[in-house]
Structure 1
């Protein structure tokens, strides 16, 4: 009887352990905890979006946890209100985000490293994802912006955007390559995963997107519309990582000349003005534009000590843009309710008017929690102030099973109930980069990435 009870207990504990590795329970607002515990709670609960809400067939990250019509995004993408022949389709639970999936993969590394999920359990999920991706729609090795999580077929993002998206693909590969380094053991599963990632990496033909050898990279291409989208990737914005990935490719690399002509020499690359006493080296937006410019590339690229042969200090760029954004919210020239030292952060996300690239030039009174929280490496004191306000003061309105809701406006008494992959992912990853530098360390040690950075004229203490 004693032996039977003992075996029953062992079995129960084993099942509990297996279940605990495969499921993460959400928590509510917990009072009187340390700052370190708060960071862990926020990272862990935000990661649930990628773990519990992943697409059940492919494992990819769903774009969002609600359904919207195609034109929900349209003003943001095209900066126009009267685009003809607009698709009236919708983006719902089948729509998986390629870029958001890459961010979710980075978040999965964090989750394994912190023990929230088991290493083998995570690796099984990642293998399912790369197996799916290796049979899904690609165009010269480049994935679309959105993909059906069951079929792998492209979900058009607009009338002409129905094929490849090199920027979203660069975020995906940032995640896959970092995971390849993290899961670099000798087991058959790890070896298999590494091989499948390498296939995707080698197949990505970045040079094709120079439109026949022109000295410009183009964001989109499709077999139906060719390069009619006609959207060059010029700087400065969230796409610096795209040039780094393209220059780092082991099979289809671009030249430094293309990078210089398309990115550096664009009219919008340099800034040099000062706002609120902070000099902004790059970008033509007044007061810097949305904060995701300083987050997406730097999920993997460590800006500390990063400079280029044009004299740009990327630590200064990322930090000062963030400080300018916060200073604008404190100034609050439009007198929105709630703005202040502990409530700041303008970036792209959901609003009461749809999806908007919020920034000082486009300020609707909507705060995106991801803006301040994904800035932890640059402004840890100010980001912690914002985090405590979001969690303790506004938690009853914006804290939920997948972390913080995407946005809120106290002036409009509007609080989103939605979550987006490209906003949730940076919260997990950038808080971890602040705490341990984990993802920066993994990504910056990749030999091809080091070679690509050097090729483009970057210097860093993290390059061999």
Structure 2
């Protein structure tokens, strides 16, 4: 099978995950499972990716426009009226049946942002009542509430039991939080918050980049699924697209170098990022350079297909080689919704689950690679244009 056909099939089956693994209860309609191991718990980030997937499904002919419209409309009604929130920020994990908090979950700034990007895509695509619902939800988010005013940084998290903790004090997947924050029509933050996080540089082999704490590839991918950074830089001249390309290449080189330690890692099996593992979900898998990996590596040899596929817009050729390898050489990785979450040949293990945010980064990045659809929808939105302008982004001078 041609790589193009494998990618097309992976995209379609990833869409089916979001279309099928959904709540249809009256109070929880449109909520999407965090993962297929536990169909009682939804992730609001999973819903953000799922809403973004609706235009992809329509444009590819997998669902009708009416079907997509109804799903988007009713999902946003659920979030406006039923899903638990505080100061407009949603709970990260909620019950599928009614949108109420589960697992003493946090009120999450990053997962709210991921949801809002999906709501924005659906609103921009359909217009009308769907857009009005997006604006109603967006307008009630009190972005300054989540700021540590003394440090001029977003807190990392908040829950009812412990209050605020930590800070978004370095680069990671959070760029969308600043764009949405400064563009808010009701509760905006100052653009200086974006310039307050530290941009630490590190190097692995020939690749020097602004690194993230874990070095997990998702931290270099998530904001890029919606925001097209290819030809823009900020006031400091940073090209985040180029930075993610370098991070992907460093991850690839590291996995090649680690083949002597883990047989799962090699030139065609790479992409260390947060995923399921033989020991449960791991959020710290990553490659240098990073705060977590400069002295020791953080991997047990587990490879998730989403790690490479989420970087297809950055390093197309090596991603296509990985996709072909997974499909042809690791057939046990393939299942109902395409590639399962991860595998580890050193432990003779293959994940039996699908995770929403991992299928999500795949479908959005594959479509951006093919047609730029999600980029085009997002970048024409007035709030996105306004937010990027306020943050000082401008076209890169050739």
* TM-score (norm. length: structure 2): 0.92
Answer whether contact 2:259 2:265 (CA < 8 A) is retained.
no
CA distance in 2 between partners of 1:284 and 1:414 (Å): 28
Change (3 A) 1:275 1:137: same
The answer to whether residue 158 in structure 2 is matched with residue 221 in structure 1 is: yes
CA distance in 2 between partners of 1:213 and 1:275 (Å): 34
Partner of 1:274: 203
Answer whether contact 2:45 2:92 (CA < 8 A) is retained.
yes
Answer whether contact 2:182 2:190 (CA < 8 A) is retained.
yes
Change (3 A) 1:406 1:169: same
Does the residue aligned with 1:130 lie in a helix, a strand or coil?
helix
5+ unaligned residues in a row in structure 1: which ranges? 1-32, 67-91, 185-190
Does the residue aligned with 1:47 lie in a helix, a strand or coil?
helix
1:332 is displaced (CA, Å) by 1.4
Partner of 2:125: 182
Alignment of 1:169-248 (within 5 A): 169-184=112-127, 191-211=128-148, 215-227=152-164, 230-248=165-183
Q: 1:44 aligns with which of 1, 12, 18?
A: 12
Answer whether contact 2:304 2:341 (CA < 8 A) is retained.
yes
CA distance in 1 between partners of 2:151 and 2:329 (Å): 53
1:242 is displaced (CA, Å) by 1.2
Partner of 1:85: none
Partner of 1:18: none
CA distance in 2 between partners of 1:394 and 1:42 (Å): 15
The answer to whether residue 7 in structure 2 is matched with residue 64 in structure 1 is: no
CA RMSD of aligned residues (A): 1.7
Answer whether contact 1:347 1:359 (CA < 8 A) is retained.
yes
Answer whether contact 2:248 2:314 (CA < 8 A) is retained.
yes
1:334 is displaced (CA, Å) by 5.0
Partner of 2:211: 283
1:120 is displaced (CA, Å) by 0.5
Answer whether contact 1:144 1:164 (CA < 8 A) is retained.
yes
Q: 2:77 aligns with which of 131, 138, 153?
A: 131
1:37 is displaced (CA, Å) by 2.3
Answer whether contact 1:290 1:346 (CA < 8 A) is retained.
yes
Does the residue aligned with 1:406 lie in a helix, a strand or coil?
coil
Answer whether contact 2:156 2:168 (CA < 8 A) is retained.
yes
1:232 is displaced (CA, Å) by 1.4
The answer to whether residue 322 in structure 2 is matched with residue 386 in structure 1 is: yes
* TM-score (norm. length: structure 1): 0.79
Does the residue aligned with 2:306 lie in a helix, a strand or coil?
helix
Does the residue aligned with 2:35 lie in a helix, a strand or coil?
coil
Which structure is larger by alpha-carbon Rg, 1 or 2? 1
Answer whether contact 1:49 1:402 (CA < 8 A) is retained.
yes
Answer whether contact 1:55 1:94 (CA < 8 A) is retained.
no
| CA distances 1:108-129 after superposition (whole Å, capped 9, x unpaired) | 2211111111110111111121
Answer whether contact 2:326 2:333 (CA < 8 A) is retained.
yes
Q: 1:367 aligns with which of 287, 294, 303?
A: 303
